[in-house]
Amino acid sequence: MDVLDLSRWQFGITTVYHFLFVPLTIGLSFVVAGLQTAWHRTKKPSYLRLTRFWGRLFLINFAMGVVTGIVQEFQFGMNWSAYSRFVGDVFGAPLAMEGLIAFFMESTFIGLWIFGWDKLPPRIHLATIWLASIGTFLSAYFILAANSWMQHPVGYRIDPVTHRAELTDIWAVLTNSTTLVTFPHVIFGAFVTAGAFVAGISAWQLARKRDVPMFRTSMRLALVTGLVAAGGVALSGHWQAQIMTEQQPMKMAAAEALWEDESSAGFSLFAIGDVENGRNSVNLQVPNGLSVLATNTLDGRVEGINDIQARYLALYGAGDYRPVIGLAYWSFRLMIGFGFLAGLLALAGLWLTRRGRTPVNPWFTRIAVAGIALPFLANSLGWIFTEMGRQPWTVFGVMRTAAAVSPGADVAEVAITLVGFTLVYAALAAVEVRLLLKFIRLGPEPEPGAETPAEPLPALSY
């Protein structure tokens, strides 16, 4: 592989790995804030114990997300310096706002929350976790604004002398239509992730009959959160598909393996494609499904890969403007499938816990624990589809990925750092899992007045 391929692999690995932590951090911060609010209002010890229990897991995940995110940003200068020089004035603005406003807000108020127990007035201390949660929202928004500019560049001009992109309207960048549909989709996905995480761990605790009333409450809260958020994911995903059809028709066509322009287009369930000849050998469809998804009409016209390729040749010049069709097609399907299963699991869990019931079937516990992985898989596949479906563009219609790579990088340097980052991230993953499992097994702090457990709970500086 050349420098371009290795750089893409390196950025892809670090991005997907970093995004494993982001949705859980966002969703779990609001779960913790909600539980602490319940404790503040009711003074029930169970809510305080749940706040501290889930708060520990939230902090572990937050710390790992910070570490991996910093490494990711350095790659813009190391591997993609041509891109950074060309669009730095535009792309750097929302990233700077994320660091100076959102991340500063998150880290400051998380610090106050950690060290403010019994030191700050209760209402002020409660406000710190809510402000930290809002900070995660803002951080996600600014990052998505930067990414959305790559999908649909607005609010800029190309300087005729320097041939660099210059920011002309920051408000246009921050209110990009792509951002406005992507943000709720990501946030709902974060709540599905947190819901599955809390429900799975709660099911594990219930199977061991530990604090049954408390963890049943925790599970019900998580299941309701996950189910409502799954509906939000589906609705916002529908809006996002319509914007994608308008702004990046090749991405939508690749997602559906649709080769020719078609009215009343069906939604593909399973296809075997012949990429060289630009057609499908097998294609099982839901009639009119794609037209509804893309245009909200049964007979809406959707552009096909071959027709878009011909149009792009005339517009942008020679080149292959198709992404990897098989990857786009299957990542789109698997994203939807895993997300649907996460919502279905939440619905099944609510049914099994209705009217005060506590699930005792060991199969449900196994499925609930395994179900923790579902939203993580859906989130990762969604980002893979989003970024790979945009290829061969780094900035759609403006800069190709091949032109964005650092001209001074060589194969050996990128290969060494690729292997190094991958090994370091594998070690960090082992540390993350070990810490999470340790605190999950230890469970919540004992109730006030209860006997101290034989193995003391590790201090986490509350």
Task: Kindly write down the DSSP assignment for every residue of 85-135, as one continuous string.
Answer: HHHHHHHHHHHHHIIIIIIHHHHHHHHHHHH-TTTS-HHHHHHHHHHHHHH
pLDDT digits (tens, 9 = 90+) for 330-374: 999 999 999 999 999 999 998 988 887 777 778 888 999 999 999
Q: What's the distance, CA 190 to chain centroid?
A: 7
Confidence at residue 450, expressed as pLDDT on a 0 to 100 scale: 56
Share of the chain above pLDDT 90, in %: 56
Residues 253 and 261: their CA atoms lie apart, in Å, by 9
Query: Mean pLDDT throughout 431-447?
Result: 88
Provide the phi-psi class of 248: left if phi over 0, else alpha when psi is between -120 and 50, else beta.
Answer: beta
- Rounded to the nearest 10 degrees, the angle between the axes of helix 325-352 and helix 177-207 is 50
Share of the chain above pLDDT 70, in %: 97
Query: Mean pLDDT throughout 247-267?
Result: 90
Residues 174 and 93: their CA atoms lie apart, in Å, by 10
Q: Which residues pair with 400 in a beta bridge?
A: 393
Is pLDDT of 286 > 80? yes
Residue 178 banded pLDDT, cuts 50, 70, 90: very high
Farthest-apart Cα atoms in the chain, separation: 77
Residue 1 banded pLDDT, cuts 50, 70, 90: confident
pTM of whole model > 0.85? yes
Query: Mean pLDDT throughout 99-111?
Result: 90
Q: Which residues pair with 262 in a beta bridge?
A: 302
Confidence at residue 459, expressed as pLDDT on a 0 to 100 scale: 44
Q: Which residues pair with 284 in a beta bridge?
A: 270
Residues 353 and 359: their CA atoms lie apart, in Å, by 6
Is pLDDT of 10 > 80? yes
- What token pair was written down for 116? 């403010």
Beta carbons of 291 and 300 less than 8 angstroms apart: yes
Is pLDDT of 454 > 60? no
Is pLDDT of 134 > 90? yes
> How many Cα atoms sit within 13 Å of 52 on the Cβ side?
19
Q: CB-based contacts of 43: which residues, under 8 Å, 6+ apart?
A: none
Query: Mean pLDDT throughout 393-400?
Result: 92
Residue 449 banded pLDDT, cuts 50, 70, 90: low
Is pLDDT of 312 > 70? yes
More confident residue, 54 or 446: 54
Residue 118 banded pLDDT, cuts 50, 70, 90: confident
Residue 30 banded pLDDT, cuts 50, 70, 90: very high
Q: How far is CA 400 from CA 1, 215, 321, 392, 453, in A?
A: 18, 51, 10, 6, 60
Amino acid type, 310: A
